[in-house]
Structure formats: C-alpha cells, structure tokens
C-alpha cells in the first residue's frame, strides 16, 4: 500500500481517540523534505521542513533519529507540538549535512530560552 501524509492524517483523524490508543497519544508523520503532521487529541498540526540545497545533503543516515530526538527534547521542555517538530527538523537538518550519524556542532540551547 502506498499512501501519503494527507491520507494518513485523514485516517488517524477519522479513527478518533480510540484509534490512537494502541500507538500512543501523539502521532507524528514525516515525509522527508515535504510537510509533516502531528496529531494529538483529535487535532492535526502541520509543520514545514527547512529547505536545503541538494548539494548540501551529504548523508541522510540518522535523520529520522535526530528528528525524534529533537521532537522529544521539545516535549521535555514543554514546547508546543509545532515547536517540537521545528526542533526535530532543525536537528535532522544539521545531521544530513555531514557524513554518518554524528552529533553536529550546533547549540540547541536557543530553544530553552
């Protein structure tokens, strides 16, 4: 089955709260460089991914893990879902600009102020 973010969002929104129960309370759907969606308590929040020039993409290994790490870090400091997604996108953005899954030289403290 091939699907896209819009179809998945419609499915989860239609399934209601009970449809999310087996999977957790927050559903995050990412789609590479395209718009993603967070679903929580029946509300969908779309988020954009920062554009990056194709020649600046070195290695996508770890991009998803970096996104999840940034997203969860945002949750831990009580950021909104949109802000959590932005932190996740920023983390992934910096990861894909270097080879391998290494920590970028980037100060994420800007999100805690």
User: Phi and psi of 15, rounded to 5°?
Assistant: -70, -15
- Catalytic site positions: 65
The β-bridge partners of 31 are: 34
Long-range own/partner contacts, residues 60-67 (CB < 8 A, 24 or more apart):
60/96, 61/100, 61/101, 62/95, 62/100, 62/101, 63/92, 63/95, 63/96, 64/30, 64/92, 65/101, 66/91, 66/92, 66/94, 66/95, 67/30, 67/91, 67/92
Neighbours of 104 (CB within 10 A): 15
């Amino acid at each position: 089955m091939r699907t896209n973010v819009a179809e998945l969002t419609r499915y989860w929104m239609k399934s209601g709260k009970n449809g999310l129960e087996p999977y957790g309370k927050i559903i995050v759907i990412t789609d590479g460089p395209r718009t993603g969606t967070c679903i929580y308590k029946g509300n969908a929040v779309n988020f954009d991914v920062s554009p990056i020039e194709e020649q600046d993409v070195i290695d996508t290994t770890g991009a998803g893990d970096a996104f999840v790490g940034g997203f969860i870090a945002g949750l831990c400091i009580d950021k909104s879902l949109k802000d959590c997604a932005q932190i996740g996108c920023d983390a992934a953005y910096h990861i894909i600009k270097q080879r391998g899954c290494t920590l970028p030289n980037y100060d994420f403290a800007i999100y805690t102020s």
